[in-house]
Amino acid sequence: MKLGLGLYRHMLTPENFAFAKQAGATHIVAHLVDYFCGGAGHSATDDQPLGTDWGWGLAGDPDKLWPLDELTTIRRNVEAAGLKLEAIENFDPAHWGDILLDGPKRAQHIENVKTIIRRLGEAGIPIMGYNFSIAGVAGRTKGNYARGDAPSVGMEGAYDLPMPNGLVWNMVVDPTAPSRPTGNIPAATHEQLWDRYKRFLDEIVPVAEKAGVRLALHPDDPPMPFIRGQPRLVYQPSLYQKVVDLNPSPVNQFEFCVGSLAEMTEGDIYDVVDNYSRQNRLGYVHLRNVRDKVPHYKETFIDDGEVDVLRVLAILKKNGFEGVIIPDHAPQMSCAAPWHAGMAYALGFLKAGIMSLEGKR
Ligand SMILES: O=C(O)[C@@H](O)[C@@H](O)[C@H](O)[C@H](O)CO
């Protein structure tokens, strides 16, 4: 098992690569979607993107896919720091939003995804993490939820406000939409969403196989059956099995988020980890801790929630998981570098857990 750190776009700097290395990580997962408006929308107390009813802000340029040389440069910069780039996490809604909505630009967006996957293969990046969701990561709240009143995220009830036109995957894809809203996106059904997903897999999996890139699906975050009136795909642990059964290709894998899975109202988290790691479906793992279930869960320090993280690590080890584990989020700590301190605490805990299982001192 390998330890990694996830970095948002504005954090892909030599300093943060050095920080990851110093904290014992060997791998990086890079978010290229700019959730924080180039860092301008980010403050030292930001944990992870939350946004407003208009989401996280403007999506990327619909006509500019991540260039091959940008991907290669990021990989080289990561390697120059003595680390490896394991995955890119999340497509930009400007590039693939109409696949989620089954909109008029769907065919173009399928071509976009194919191009991105091929470029990852050429750039030597093994995994593409993604989240097949219409409303995206929306409905979370922030509060002093964690031990010692540390700020973290959670949920304080359902989020049912309809999704306005121009918004998809919790980002604005039509910049004129917020100033002149033209109604809401009609609600899809779960059947329609699964149909959209199956078509996506049918078209993209062969390209990923050829490119040598694994696709890693994140479960819904937060895992509610509906957010903003739109259906969610994997909001109970058993729905991950449906993903495997739709397309059993070895590249059809999971961005296996233990926190989101533990927030679900069904299933025993240890059985869930055992089941899918035995099936060898884990592309990489998000490992954090949580208290309670949707729609009222709260994120906690890694040693402090309802999940026995050391037991999770032991199950992964037993089933021969050899991929990368990142602490996807961590509560902020009271100091001059709240995000870094929170991450260093989580990384240290995970590092000790992995070392004790692997018999290393
Ligand atoms: O801030 C974050 O890291 C997140 O919001 C992710 O965990 C998110 O759930 C995934 O990137 C979805 O693929």
Question: What is the CA(361)–ligand 1 centre distance, in A?
Answer: 32
For the cut 70, the answer to whether the pLDDT of residue 219 exceeds it is yes
Nearest to 49 by CA among 110, 131, 118: 131
In the block, tokens 């604005």 appear at 172
**77: Cβ contacts below 8 Å, ≥ 6 apart:** 12, 14, 17
Torsion angle of the four alpha carbons 299, 304, 305, 309, in this order, in degrees rounded to the nearest 10:
110
CA of 222 to the centre of ligand 1 (A): 10
Q: How far is the CA of 125 from the centre of ligand 1 (A)?
A: 19
Cβ atoms of residues 62 and 109 within 8 Å: no
What CA–CA distance (Å, rounded) separates 46 from 56? 13
**For ligand 1, atom 3: residue with the closest CA:** 328
Q: Ligand 1: distance of its center to the CA of 184 in Å?
A: 25
Query: Strand, helix or coil at 91?
Result: coil
Q: Which of 221, 224, 255 to mutate to test the pocket of ligand 1 (most atoms within 8 A of CB)?
A: 221
**Residue 89 pLDDT exceeds 70:** yes
Interval between CA 325 and ligand 1 midpoint (Å)? 14
Per DSSP, which regions of 169-280 are E strands? 171-172, 214-217, 226-227, 230-231, 252-257
- Pick the closest to residue 98 from 16, 196, 31 (CA basis): 196
- Is the separation of the CB atoms in 129 and 255 below 8 Å? yes
Q: How far is CA 168 from CA 179, 236, 242, 351, in A?
A: 16, 22, 24, 37
Provide mean pLDDT across the span 108-117: 98
Q: What are the φ/ψ torsions at residue 247 (nearest 5 degrees)?
A: -155, 100
The two three-digit tokens of residue 1, written as one number: 């098992």
pTM: predicted TM-score of the whole model, two decimal places: 0.96
Q: Which residue's CA lies nearest to atom 9 of ligand 1?
A: 221
| Alpha helices by DSSP H, 294-334 | 309-318
- Ligand 1, atom 6, residue with closest C-alpha: 328
Which ligand 1 atom is the nearest neighbour of the CA of 90? 13
- Per-residue pLDDT for 294 more than 70? yes
ipTM over 0.85: yes
How many structural domains compose the chain? Answer: 1
Q: Is a pLDDT exceeding 90 seen at residue 39?
A: no
pLDDT of residue 178: 85
Could you tell me the distance, in angstroms and rounded to a whole number, from the CA of residue 218 to the centre of ligand 1? 8
Separation of CA 282 and ligand 1 centre (Å): 16
Closest ligand 1 atom number to CA of residue 260: 9
| Range with the poorest average pLDDT among 157-161, 174-178, 227-231 | 174-178
Distance from C-alpha of 310 to C-alpha of 137, rounded to nearest angstrom:
27
Q: Supply the residue whose CA is at minimum distance from atom 12 of ligand 1.
A: 131
Q: Among residues 303, 282, 311, 289, which one has the least CA distance to residue 215? A: 282
The predicted structure's pLDDT at residue 22: 98
In this prediction, residue 361 carries a pLDDT of 61
**Residues composing the chain:** 361
> Which residues, 6 or more positions from 238, have their beta carbon under 8 angstroms from its beta carbon?
266, 267
CA distance 305 to 315: 18
Q: Kindly report whether the peptide bond that precedes residue 237 is cis, defined as omega within 30 degrees of 0.
A: no
List the structure tokens of 186: 């009609």
What is the CA(359)–ligand 1 centre distance, in A? 32
Residues lining ligand 1, judged by CB closer than 6 Å? 6, 48-49, 89-90, 129, 131, 137, 218, 221, 255, 328-329
Sequence-distant (6+) residues with CB within 8 A of 108 are 98
Gap from CA of 6 to ligand 1 centroid (Å): 10
Stretch 71-99: mean pLDDT: 98
Ligand 1: which atom is nearest the Cα of residue 6?
3
Per-residue pLDDT at 44 exceeds 90 = no
The range of the structural domain enclosing residue 244 comes to 2-357
Closest ligand 1 atom, residue 255 Cα: 13
Give the pLDDT confidence score for residue 36 in this predicted structure. 80
Burial class (CB in 10 A: 0-12, 13-18, 19+), 216: buried
Instruction: Please name which of 138, 260, 247, 253 lies closest in space to residue 197, comparing C-alpha atoms.
Output: 247
Q: Round to whole Å and give the CA distance between 146 and 305.
A: 9
Phi-psi region of 146 (alpha: psi -120 to 50; beta: other; left: phi over 0): beta
Give me the pLDDT at residue 42, please. Answer: 59
Angle formed by the axes of helices 14-22 and 68-80, nearest 10°: 40
88, 71, 80, 87: which is closest to 122 by C-alpha? 71
Model pLDDT for residues 121-149, shown as the tens digit of each residue: 999 999 999 999 999 999 999 999 999 99
Q: Phi and psi for 350 in degrees, rounded to 5?
A: -65, -40
Instruction: Check pLDDT > 60 for residue 152.
Output: yes
Task: Please report, for the domain that includes residue 223, its CATH number.
Answer: 3.20.20.150
Q: Which residues of 42-71 are buried (b: 16+ CB within 10 A; e: fewer)?
A: beeebbbbbbeebbbbbbbebeebbeeeeb
Helix (H, G, I), strand (E, B) or coil at 287: coil
Whole-number Å distance, alpha carbon 93 to ligand 1 midpoint, is 14
Candidate from 5, 32, 48 with most ligand 1 atoms within 8 A of CB, to mutate: 48
